Structure 1
């Protein structure tokens, strides 16, 4: 089998636990690109952050960011977007503001958040994301008022609420009242909302389709539950050893952990004997 596309998750897969991009991994990516294989990133990170990693790897193709909602090689010219419509955002903001929760609405340029309910929560406002400090977060008193004055969509909305029972009720209500959204729990107190059908796999599927590359010619490597669908459905799905058991169960192969250069090991083992792709 000749594989033409290598899709890599960033956090927990490509980067080590200390968020470093190791030299061995960089060299492996350069090696596979010289063989004519296209390399892309498939990440939940915002475009700002993922693009920095792409530049470090000298990637030239579009990358798949915001959990599949924004596919692009530049900020201003995306090849694919899947955003929550402004009208839905308005209704969602009004609904969420009836709960004692922290809300963060994001798109490729910035995030908008309601002001923290407690001062000691200010450090938690990039909810569950390993984002750099240069990613702008604007704090407002009322998200619904902000949306009245700013007509824009969102790639994702993150909600943080420490009362588990109230969060369970909130999640059920969102599923009942907002059928155009998909929701999943990233932890017991955190919820992520996206436009229905938005996923890493669907972003990758669109990107591969633009290149004319079928699924069986793709290698995908990841570690999280959000990576499980693409790992299961591509030609060769690889989970790193530090992935949860349910993700590894979907994989064709389990490589070394991210701290043991698992991506570099995949490249050596899978692409070493592959002839150059034309």
Structure 2
């Protein structure tokens, strides 16, 4: 049976050490060989996806920035960015909640006004007062804190924004109001001539909520947030137990035999 398999990366397909097991690689490769579409839908930027995906799993379409950018090879299928003026409003609102650590993703480059190592590891970025940047639009703003982000902030953000709190409440990821993984998936399905009922989707965090709820088979990882589990049709084993591919080869959903 041909299917569209859509998987989040961090906390889902990637194990805690940011690797994919040989077992998972082999099963996903077999799925592709049998004709299934394999798509990764992640909050990550393009530059931070390919380094974790082995060449045998490289796929034509990737969904980046929680859906703000969809790439097919070097071509852009869809993009939606936030204007500079709106971003400056976001920064002012964040100050009210003592959220002063700001990151901005512009053209596959990360800018921040602080050292991001504690949040994202040793990733390339330019440290600068982001208010001084000369740009028109950006794919995403990330507010970072060691504490838990106050959800009331989301209510006060400009109407042009869509925000989701992830990573145990330490990150607030802000995109254009029309951006979500689910919205970008709809563009991809139209491009591929598939229906939502043809999709099996895997996720673990709040930014996967709509995708898991609306795709044909929505699967939450065992390590997922409880709210996601409550809308999923199935619960898979954890990301550290190869939950995605264990589910795909289970008796109920055999995509590899």
Bin for the TM-score computed over the shorter chain: 0.7 to 0.9
- Residue of 130, 146, 151 corresponding to 1:143: 130
Corresponding position of 2:159: 179
Change beyond 3 A, Cα 1:58–1:262:
same
- When Rg is computed on C-alpha atoms for both structures, the one with the higher figure is 1
Q: Which has the higher contact order (CA 8 A, sep 6+)?
A: 1
> Normalization by structure 2: what TM-score?
0.86
Change beyond 3 A, Cα 1:109–1:35:
same
Moved over 6 A (4+): none
> Is 2:165–2:206's contact at 8 Å kept on the other side of the alignment?
no
Change beyond 3 A, Cα 1:106–1:255:
same
- Residue of 240, 246, 254 corresponding to 1:272: 254
**Which secondary structure does the structure 2 equivalent of 1:72 belong to?**
strand
Corresponding position of 1:36: 35
Corresponding position of 2:19: 20
Equivalences for residues 237-256 of structure 1 within 5 A: 237-256=218-237
**Which secondary structure does the structure 2 equivalent of 1:249 belong to?**
helix
Counterpart CA distance in 2 for 1:103 and 1:273 is 42
Corresponding position of 1:89: 87
Counterpart CA distance in 2 for 1:138 and 1:81 is 23
Equivalences for residues 189-228 of structure 1 within 5 A: 189-228=170-209
Corresponding position of 1:58: 57
Counterpart CA distance in 2 for 1:235 and 1:163 is 36
> Is 1:70–1:108's contact at 8 Å kept on the other side of the alignment?
no
The alpha carbon displacement at 1:15 in A equals 1.3
> Is 1:51–1:63's contact at 8 Å kept on the other side of the alignment?
no
The alpha carbon displacement at 1:260 in A equals 1.5
Structure 2 residue 78 is the aligned partner of structure 1 residue 80: yes
Counterpart CA distance in 2 for 1:40 and 1:15 is 14
Paired residues, number = 254
Counterpart CA distance in 2 for 1:267 and 1:169 is 35
Q: Which has the higher strand share?
A: 2
Corresponding position of 1:234: 215
Cα RMSD after superposing both structures:
2.7
The alpha carbon displacement at 1:96 in A equals 4.9
Counterpart CA distance in 1 for 2:101 and 2:233 is 39
